[in-house]
A and B are shown apart, each in its own frame.
Chain A
Amino acid sequence: MAEKVLMKGNEALAEAAIQAGCRLFFGYPITPQTELSAYMSKKMPKIGGLFLQAESELAAINMVLGASAAGKRAMTSSSSPGISLKSEGISYIAGSDVPAVIINVQRGGPGLGSIQPSQADYWQATKATGHGDFQLIVLAPSTVQEMADFVGQAFDLGDKYRMPVMILSDGMLGQMMEPVSFPEKGEPVIPERPWAACGHGGKRPHNIVNSLYIEAKDLEKTVVERYKKYDIIKKEEQKAESYLTDDAEIVVVAYGASSRVARSAVNSARAEGIKVGLVRPITLWPFPVDAIEATIPTAKKYLTVEMSMGQMVDDVKLVVNGRAPVSFFGRTGGVIPTPGEILDEIKKLNN
């Protein structure tokens, strides 16, 4: 294992992308994501890569589409309002079946909102990142180490399924510093992209990367094929961490930064003898249905904690499907819940 260093989450995302073989970064600065772009701007030129500050978020995401279509690993990053601007391009990327990694270091919304951490883009990331029938794979890190680890996984998943992958982080994880290590794996193995439009040299037919279909039936066929792929992903790629859930009568469900706070609260509640556990979704899409399902036999009540007005709670309810009450606690606008507040909610449910 390589020596640990102290990094901001944003820097860890950037370094991990470079180590995953990404040499093309297109971005536009926005707080609280900017350190990622700044890191890329310093490092990329030194290693023969490209850092490009585009004229807008729209330009940046379309550059990612172009680079990916030409067969290269490419990435962009932004924070909530910037992701809204990128949504058209993200839809085009999904419709073109090309991989790409998109980072959202969430801040408070709607509108320009606040620059403090938030999780209010869950619906956007998992259900409505752009127009049309499509999904992104969405990974939710909860530590700076996971920020580093998930970037390589995101590139690999994107290549495996030929689709965009989002890392849904937040201002807290982006800005906080924690020890992190980058395993020495040597040169990353980047799969061939035989479909890439990178010049055929007269040796093969044209590759076309495109999201426009003139015939409705052709488009329907393509979308249906894509959804068969989504079914495989839903089966194969769910990920969650289950913490103290074996005998849990109260199951807290939280992801990302709020799962850190929730874990503190679960520990305090356990110290008081309350049978409570935590399910932490790591893939937000595909939603970790199996991990929630596994808690059903002991669970009497569920509590979803988010830094929003309640978005993931809908997915929890869909899995629990009336078999136990699902309640919600959240702070929004950039306010981070305290362990004490969550502990109070757990105690209320325990009565």
Chain B
Amino acid sequence: MKLISGRLSIICGHYGTGKTNLALNLARDHARMGEKVTIVDMDIVNPYFRTSDYRKILEDEGIEVIAPVFGATNLDLPSLPASMYMAFEKEGTVIFDLGGDDVGATVMGRFSDRLVGVDYEMLYVINRYRDLGATPDGTVQILKEIEAVTRLKATGLINNSNLMYETTTEHIEKGYEFVKETAELIGLPLVANVVRRDLLPDISGSSVIRTGEMIPVDIIAGPSFLD
């Protein structure tokens, strides 16, 4: 499914909302549509379940991966590789997978000058089931913190409400209502609803979901041994 409209697409959100899984799916889908795709892992905080863990899967699809040199190694070393500058000059589609919250997203602020006058989109990923007692107000607050440190403005919201393998269409619909309310509070469009691929036939006829594309995804990021 084609979601990305700009050449540079930045995926941000509260940590654990599914940014990496969405970025991996989008990169793969765009590559399979014949585009030249680069994925940039900008997470220098979280050492587990990160884009660069899936380097082989991505490279097999012809996707270029730019990641912190010490990412996913034993070294908790928050340094950036020089190659990250190249990400802003790549041809084709470039997807940036930011770290979670304002702390993880801070890295992008370092590069915000590279995006002046550039056609980019910044998509804010929301999983209504990520936090106990999540509210649209709190969700807006997290985005404001991310915008402050990235020095960029979000362009759209993505409903990625899910409970991984336990997700039902009802979860996606309830999530939609939550994200819609958040979108209205902040004045941004709800651009897409992320749907685990096997749920797509059931959710397509939903009378609740009225805005945003349906983006089918596979669960790529996560432990491989789940029974």
Partner-B contacts on A (CB < 8 A): 3-8, 15, 31-32, 112, 114-116, 171-172, 175-179, 182, 260-261, 263-264, 267, 336, 338-339
CB atoms of A8 and B16 under 8 A apart: yes
Q: Indicate whether B115 reaches chain A with its CB closer than 8 angstroms.
A: no
CB atoms of B227 and A32 under 8 A apart: no
Q: A115-B47, A177-B16, A177-B164 are in contact. Are A5 and B225 (CB under 8 A)?
A: no
Q: Indicate whether B132 reaches chain A with its CB closer than 8 angstroms.
A: yes
User: How far apart are A174's CB and chain B's nearest CB, in angstroms?
Assistant: 9
Give the residues in chain A near B224, CB-CB below 8 Å: 338
- A-B pair number, CB within 8 angstroms: 61
Residue-by-residue, is B178-205 near A (CB-CB < 8 Å gives 1, otherwise 0)? 0000000000000000000000000000
Given A5-B131, A115-B47, 17 new contacts (CB under 8 A):
A4-B166, A5-B130, A5-B132, A6-B164, A8-B16, A31-B76, A114-B74, A115-B76, A176-B222, A176-B223, A177-B222, A179-B163, A264-B225, A264-B226, A338-B224, A338-B225, A339-B225
CB atoms of B227 and A264 under 8 A apart: yes
Residue-by-residue, is B105-132 near A (CB-CB < 8 Å gives 1, otherwise 0)? 0000000000000000000000101111
The prevalent SS among residues of A at the interface is mixed
The prevalent SS among residues of B at the interface is loop
Nearest to A43 among chain B residues (CB) is B132
Give the residues in chain A near B227, CB-CB below 8 Å: 260, 263-264, 267
**For the complex, what is the distance from the CA of A263 to the CA of B16, rounded to whole Å?**
26
Residue-by-residue, is B150-167 near A (CB-CB < 8 Å gives 1, otherwise 0)? 000000000000111010
**For the complex, what is the distance from the CA of A4 to the CA of B166, rounded to whole Å?**
10
Q: A6-B162, A115-B76 are in contact. Are A171 and B132 (CB under 8 A)?
A: no
User: How far apart are A177's CB and chain B's nearest CB, in angstroms?
Assistant: 6
**For the complex, what is the distance from the CA of A147 to the CA of B163, rounded to whole Å?**
17
Q: Indicate whether B85 reaches chain A with its CB closer than 8 angstroms.
A: no
CB atoms of A6 and B132 under 8 A apart: no
CB atoms of A32 and B47 under 8 A apart: yes
**For the complex, what is the distance from the CA of A268 to the CA of B168, rounded to whole Å?**
27
**For the complex, what is the distance from the CA of A112 to the CA of B47, rounded to whole Å?**
16
Give the residues in chain A near B131, CB-CB below 8 Å: 5
CB atoms of B223 and A172 under 8 A apart: yes
CB atoms of B222 and A4 under 8 A apart: no
CB atoms of A5 and B129 under 8 A apart: yes
Nearest to A113 among chain B residues (CB) is B74
Residue-by-residue, is B209-227 near A (CB-CB < 8 Å gives 1, otherwise 0)? 0000000000000111111
Residue-by-residue, is B130-161 near A (CB-CB < 8 Å gives 1, otherwise 0)? 11100000000000000000000000000000
Q: Which of B127, B223, B224 has the most CB of A within 10 A?
A: B223
CB atoms of A260 and B225 under 8 A apart: yes
Give the residues in chain B near A176, CB-CB below 8 Å: 48-49, 222-223
